[in-house]
Amino acid sequence: MMLAHLSELACYLPGLIRRRLQSLGVDGQLEPALETCSAAILVADLSGFTALTEHLTQTNPAGAEELTQILDLYFGHLVRIVTAHGGDVIKFSGDGLIALWYGDESLTILTRRAVQCGLAIQMMMAPAVWSTAVIDEQARRLRARVGIGAGEVTIMHLGGVFGRWELLITGDAVQEAGAAEAAAPPGEVALTNTAWELVRQWCETVPLPNGHRKLTALLDDVPLQALREIEIVPEQLELLRAYVPKAILTRIDAGHSAWLAELRYVTVLFIHLGSLTAETPLPAAQAVIRAIQTCLYRYEGSINRLGTDSKGPTLLAAFGLPPFAHEDDTLRGVLAAQDIVQTLTDLGFACAIGVTSGQALCSSVGGQERREYTMMGTVVNRAARLMQAAHQQNVPILCDGETVAACREHISFSALPPLHLRGIPDPINVFQPLPTTPNSHHQEITTIGRHSDKLIGRASELAFLQDRLADLQKGRGSGVLITGEVGIGKSHLVQTFLAQARSRGAVVLSGIARPIDRSPYNTLRTCLPSLLGDPRLTDLTDTVYEVANELWPTTLSGQAIQPTTLAPAHAERLRESLISLLVSAATRVLLVLVIEDIQWLDEATWVLLAELLDRRPPILLVTTGRPPLNQMEVQRRLIYHPSIEHIKLSGLSPPLVHDLIAQIFGVEHVDESIWRMIAEQTQGHPFFSIELAKALRDAGLVMRQQGICRFVPGASSTANQMVRLPATVQGLITSRFDQLALDQQLTLKAASVIGVEFDTTTLAAIHPTNLNEQQLIGQLFELQQSGLISLERLEPHPFYAFRPAAVAEAIYNLMSFAQRRQLHGRLAEYLEQTVGHDPLQATTIAYHWQAAGEPIRARPYLDRAGELALYTGDYARAIELLSQANQIGNDLQPQVRGRRERMLAEAFYGQGRLAESYRCLQSAFTHLGLPLPEARRAMLWPALAEIMRQSLQLFGIRSQLLPDGINLLEIARATTLLVQLDYYQRDPITLVHSTLRALTFANAIGLAHARARAYAHMSIILNRLPILAGRYRRKSMQLAQALGDPATVAWIAQAHGLAALGRGDWKRAQAALHLGLTIAKQIGDTRRWVECRALLSMLQVRTGQMTTALAGLSEILAYGERSRDHQVQIWGRLSAVEIYLIAGNLPAAINEWQAASNLFTDPNRVSRADQIWHTVLAARIALLNSATQQAYELALQALEQIDQAPPLAIYLLRSYEALAQMSLPWRKRWKARLIRWQVGLFFPIATKTAPLTSEQSKKKGQVR
């Protein structure tokens, strides 16, 4: 195990470091070192990689991961070529590397080896050789550029802060090789003049414009000699670890190297160190690197790479890399950059820094022989470009817009002109941070969520603190510890209380402990100035200054007292002085001492506070902290002190979340859909709630309107999917996540794939390390203490949930897409085996197969889930699921595709999207083997044949000729829907044909519900023939009653009501429609309910019940808006126009018509019947407005829309009547009358009643 561990770590180090460790022996110590040697240098770089990075990360969510995959293949192949030619891969640099040839051979031989390697790279490194089929097509156009140099190289081993060491390769030869690489055309090798002089007799070259030489041929070669493996003995493991990044060490130590890749929100610092050259003395170089390490580590940043390019050494650092993520990493990055500039300036060295923030994939790339930990994403490329721009413009630091947005509240910036950067298509906004005051940087790390708005909730907690203040006024001191996770509102509660305490004359000493500065009493040191200036404490001024002199920075560099500088006697004397000072002040004034974030307190202050309480002075001590806080004895002594009372803050209740969001947006009211969604996602966590609300606003999903915050139209159903977790929330959760053991992290990653809630049985089934359920329960118990999960219930097995829900998303976001696919695949297989038969689980299984990259296996579950959504009336969800299934390639069985298209058609019909429904139905018939006739005239003879066949069958004579090999059940269902669509979309002949075909197929399959519906259709078609229509009507009702299916009864009742309405039989129509309405409401058939309600409103208009009809239309319109049913909204609006025209209320009619017009922008979502209705109503309005010419033109337009094929939609009867009565040329007038006559064949009232006039409506009750 030790040897495997050693080998895994060793591949992260070049041969140079291994040679040094070998020379040190097992008892050696790492120290700064400098050596020089003659070497050949090869620099390789991928041309076009920056542009590819921009392309992939902007067009592909997994773009950074695909880039890493490209680099992994590229570097793996490249490393094998280099090591086979004897080269030592020293450093990877983004999309390039630098390799050295050194040793006992002459520089000429070494250079020849490097040249041979360069040529081999160009011959063997074409993407067609190293890439795979999954690589993006643009990646195949990448070409390597190679530069070859030779000469003296300086090798430095620098650093040592916290045991971390860095390797620096520098020298003129290195920079010249970098310049040669930059000069080489893509796919070519360029040599420096020095290298050319050494190998000119064995090579052919041509000059390049910048003085380098392009290699064209190799005339002779030297035998290949692979790089000799340097063995590292186990005793040198600790020395080796000093050069390996912490992120690698922690994963390898835990055995999780396969889970190394993570998507992280990082702040990147790219630092140009042009003043650090080969001529720099070792002590000076060591001072520079140690200074940089100190500045970075002070803010808990990480060094990723120290390298050299054509312009000199550069250092790549980042904040947010594991295991050191923080909620304020962007601020830390900028502060560290400012510290670095100031510190290096003091040392006499210049630098230029580019600072950017964003998401990067943090992973290792390379081959088994040589790997490096790297960050991949546009954020890194942009930092490099900003560094170059800063160096060229002689500006110390340049930041991008995202960095500035994250920390502008704490640091001031000046905006500079946008920059065009190489490889980045669009100019980017850049900013320069302004200098801060000396010794103030450590004060800038602020508490998350601190703000000055009104305190929401926390009334009982605030009252508790006020009671303690009242006790203090009576001379009784006490202590309070307020605990809660970051952003829960501890600081806001304390600041609200302190404002009240000050108003009562209290002196407040307030300090915040900082993780970056834990020197003794540092927090108390910042409190002392509050004791100055109060006239009641004038006699203590000298004492304050005496104590301050002992606490204030004592070194020339301005650093505070370090623990090692305090002798025990000095520490005790200083503690006694501070306690004495505080007690003396408390005897003179009301004294409130507040220490926030005590989890970061130094040990000396913990001891001091406990001793202070032991003496029971008249002081109110208020502390805040994040759990857990009882890990050390000194902490427990204070936390469990008898004088300490505890307040534990949790999330706000949902109504208080409403108040919080209303305050943030400056409104009186927030729609319930918004605040409930946020409360559900955040469990009332104030900071999370605020950030999620702002994310909704920034995404343009919410709006303020008349003091109300509401979703923009159409956003409520998609808000959860459209809003990315804010970087602030992601960073805060990641910082807590990084504090967990790696085994615990892996468990939570697996759990996040299951969802916000998860059970131990499922988690055990998919866990990457195959932990059993009992082991997981023990681990989850420990994780409960972190506050990231909570136990929800124990039966039938333990069930946990992420709290708040955003934690699950944040942890899930950390995983690479490959890791997610692996876990989703395991989960999908497990669910398939255990609950695959349950239709309620189909959506979940489909989701996990899709997320696993297995769309074909997801498709049958999408079909099942879509079918379930369809038959429960969730048409939008059905469309979404079935459309997803359709997009997954072609089905092997056309019948399966046909069934899905039929269900899609039903779902579109349910949403009133008839044009889309009809297209899907056409596709369904085609796939089911019975394509619909295209031409209308082609339906005439089949329709007559069907009439004859059905007439014979009605009298017991059977005559059926059906095609072989068709799915009769699916055809019958599709034909039933076709009848409904033809009613709105097509002409009478087409409707007759589809109705008769529906009856044929219903009789063929013999299903009672299909036959009952077909008979009901026939009763409508035969409305002019009362005896036949009645026979079909009775048969349909008998079948429906025998079947006992409420859905079929409701359907039949609606059909009978429609037929009765068309005959003018108001009483029978009203009874049937009320029956259909009642049953549809009981069973939740919303489409049936709204169609019955619309017909009932039409009946009420016919019978003069205008006010009742309008009330019904309000219900219809409200449903249409809720369900996003386009057609129903049109019905609600245009029916109201009809009523207002009848009532003579022209302004109201115009307003409703204009509102309806907004629904006609997409012709694909509007039926022919509705288009005709809309146009005729416009003509009637124009006529009443005395716009005769406009009315004439609109009437002609309506006739063109009808085109001798009038839809039979019953709500068009008034429109057909209006066209027949308009003053038109005699041909057009006869056409309009013919249309009216055709419709009258099915609905007799079309030819024997006229629209109500406004005068008639007065007798019935006028609507105004």
Average pLDDT of span 1108-1125: 87
Q: What is the pLDDT of residue 25?
A: 81
The most confident of the ranges 431-445, 733-747, 825-839 is 825-839
Residue 728 has pLDDT above 70, yes or no: yes
Give the lowest-confidence range in 264-278, 1124-1138, 1245-1259.
1245-1259
Q: What is the pLDDT of residue 554?
A: 42
pLDDT tens digit sequence for 762-794: 999 999 987 888 888 888 988 887 778 888 888
Q: What is the pLDDT of residue 437?
A: 52
Q: What is the pLDDT of residue 1264?
A: 36
Q: What is the pLDDT of residue 948?
A: 55
Which residues have C-beta within 8 Å of that of residue 1073, sequence separation ≥ 6?
A: 1053, 1054, 1057, 1061, 1092, 1095, 1096, 1099
Q: What is the pLDDT of residue 348?
A: 92
pLDDT tens digit sequence for 431-475: 999 986 544 444 444 444 444 578 899 999 999 999 999 999 999
Which residues have C-beta within 8 Å of that of residue 1256, sequence separation ≥ 6?
A: none
Residue 839 has pLDDT above 60, yes or no: yes
Residue 747 has pLDDT above 80, yes or no: yes
Q: What is the pLDDT of residue 939?
A: 52
Q: What is the pLDDT of residue 1263?
A: 37
Which residues have C-beta within 8 Å of that of residue 61, sequence separation ≥ 6?
A: 817
Give 1182-1202 as a 3 state SS string.
Answer: HHHCCCHHHHHHHHHHHHHHH
pLDDT tier at 1251 (50, 70, 90 boundaries)? very low
In the block, tokens 């204030």 appear at 552
Phi, psi of 643 (to 5 degrees): -85, -5
Distance, CA of 595 to CA of 607 (rounded, Å): 14
Closest CA to 9 of 227, 255, 226: 255
Average pLDDT of span 497-516: 89
Give the lowest-confidence range in 12-21, 252-261, 918-927.
252-261
Residue 551 has pLDDT above 80, yes or no: no
Residue 399 has pLDDT above 70, yes or no: yes
Q: What is the pLDDT of residue 885?
A: 92
pLDDT tier at 326 (50, 70, 90 boundaries)? confident
Give the lowest-confidence range in 320-329, 707-716, 724-733.
724-733
Q: What is the pLDDT of residue 1260?
A: 36
Distance, CA of 646 to CA of 116 (rounded, Å): 72
Residue 847 has pLDDT above 70, yes or no: yes
Average pLDDT of span 1072-1099: 91
Residue 74 has pLDDT above 50, yes or no: yes
Distance, CA of 1018 to CA of 946 (rounded, Å): 12
pTM across the whole model:
0.75
Q: Where are the alpha helices (DSSP H) in 632-741?
A: 633-639, 654-665, 672-682, 686-698, 719-722, 727-737
Q: What is the pLDDT of residue 141?
A: 64
pLDDT tier at 1153 (50, 70, 90 boundaries)? very high
Q: What is the pLDDT of residue 474?
A: 92
Q: State whether the Cα torsion 542-544-547-548 is positive or negative.
A: negative
pLDDT tens digit sequence for 960-1016: 555 655 678 888 888 888 888 888 877 777 888 788 888 888 877 777 888 888 888
Average pLDDT of span 274-297: 93
For 245, other C-beta atoms within 10 Å of its C-beta total 21
What mean pLDDT is reported for the chain?
Answer: 85
pLDDT tier at 67 (50, 70, 90 boundaries)? low
Closest CA to 702 of 717, 713, 689: 713
pLDDT tier at 413 (50, 70, 90 boundaries)? very high
Q: What is the pLDDT of residue 17?
A: 92
Residue 401 has pLDDT above 70, yes or no: yes
Phi, psi of 394 (to 5 degrees): 60, 40
pLDDT tens digit sequence for 90-136: 998 877 889 999 999 999 999 999 999 999 988 876 655 555 544 55
Q: What is the pLDDT of residue 332?
A: 93
In the block, tokens 């890791």 appear at 819
Stronger pLDDT, 1174 or 63, i.e. the higher one: 1174
Closest CA to 1252 of 1144, 1142, 1108: 1142
pLDDT tens digit sequence for 857-896: 999 999 999 999 998 888 889 999 999 999 887 777 888 9
**Domains of the chain listed by start with CATH number:** 2-236 (3.30.70.1230), 256-443 (3.30.70.1230), 460-648 (3.40.50.300), 654-724 (1.10.8), 727-816 (1.10.10.10), 1104-1264 (1.25.40.10)
Q: What is the pLDDT of residue 1176?
A: 92
Q: Where are the alpha helices (DSSP H) in 348-450?
A: 378-393, 401-407
Distance set, CA 368 to CA 75, 236, 322 (Å): 10, 21, 23
- Two structure tokens written together for 491: 């600081």
- Two structure tokens written together for 162: 């916290």
Average pLDDT of span 1214-1218: 86
Q: What is the percent of the chain where pLDDT is above 90?
A: 39
Stronger pLDDT, 280 or 913, i.e. the higher one: 280
Residue 825 has pLDDT above 60, yes or no: yes
Q: What is the pLDDT of residue 558?
A: 39
Q: What is the pLDDT of residue 175?
A: 92
Stronger pLDDT, 284 or 1210, i.e. the higher one: 284
DSSP helix/strand/coil, 592 = strand
pLDDT tier at 566 (50, 70, 90 boundaries)? low
DSSP state letters, 1213-1235: HHHHHHHHHS---HHHHHHHHHH
Distance, CA of 839 to CA of 889 (rounded, Å): 23
Q: What is the pLDDT of residue 27?
A: 80
Average pLDDT of span 46-69: 64
Q: What is the pLDDT of residue 557?
A: 36
pLDDT tier at 560 (50, 70, 90 boundaries)? very low
Average pLDDT of span 415-436: 85
Give the lowest-confidence range in 146-155, 946-955, 1095-1104, 1173-1182.
946-955
Stronger pLDDT, 423 or 287, i.e. the higher one: 287
Distance, CA of 231 to CA of 226 (rounded, Å): 15
Average pLDDT of span 1156-1160: 89
Q: What is the pLDDT of residue 202?
A: 94
pLDDT tier at 704 (50, 70, 90 boundaries)? confident
pLDDT tier at 561 (50, 70, 90 boundaries)? very low
Question: Do the Cβ atoms of 75 and 92 come closer than 8 Å?
Answer: yes
Residue 1254 has pLDDT above 50, yes or no: no
In the block, tokens 């305490």 appear at 501
Average pLDDT of span 1049-1071: 91
pLDDT tier at 502 (50, 70, 90 boundaries)? very high
pLDDT tens digit sequence for 199-245: 999 999 999 988 899 999 989 889 999 888 887 788 888 888 999 98
In the block, tokens 């993780």 appear at 515
pLDDT tens digit sequence for 116-125: 999 998 887 6
